[in-house]
Amino acid sequence: MDKEKYEIEFPVKASPAMLYPFLSTPSGLADWFCDDVNSRGEVFTFIWGESEETAKVISKKKNKFIRFRWMDDIDEGDDYFFEFNIQVDDLTKDVSLIITDYSEEYELEENKLLWESQINRLLHHIGS
């Protein structure tokens, strides 16, 4: 079954340089995304309670974006990914965080709500 690509945008009151480590480092991600993160190079293991999922960093640019692909998707030959993209408006200098992810159609609303909950944790953590 094919997954549907979607994007969600969140305004962030923080500079890209402050925000990026929370999206790209094990300690930063463990503050809001999951319970704990272990990494070996470009491979990150995300831990939620008793469950863990492994993802590989497939692309990144400091203070701009980082893109991960779940190892299960790599093993199955799927091109799905999730990405944290930091956008700065040229005129207003407002910062937005754009999440790109893929979901089964029947899980789409639930997954968007999950991201909103996670990003609210992030924004609270950074005082935004």
Decide if 118 contacts 99 (C-beta within 8 A): no
pLDDT, tens digit, for every residue of 66-122?
999 999 999 999 999 999 999 999 999 999 999 999 999 999 999 999 999 999 999
Q: What CATH architecture applies to the domain 4-126?
A: 2-Layer Sandwich (3.30)
Q: What's at 56, amino acid-wise?
A: K
pLDDT value of residue 10:
97
pLDDT category of residue 128 using cuts at 50, 70 and 90:
confident
pLDDT, tens digit, for every residue of 8-23?
999 999 999 999 999 9
pLDDT category of residue 1 using cuts at 50, 70 and 90:
low
Instruction: Give the C-alpha separation, 120 to 126, whole Å.
Output: 10
Q: Is the pTM of this model over 0.85?
A: yes
Laid out side by side, the sheet with 95-103 consists of: 4-12, 95-103, 82-88, 65-70, 51-61, 43-48, 36-40
Helix extents (H) in the chain? 16-24, 26-30, 71-75, 108-126
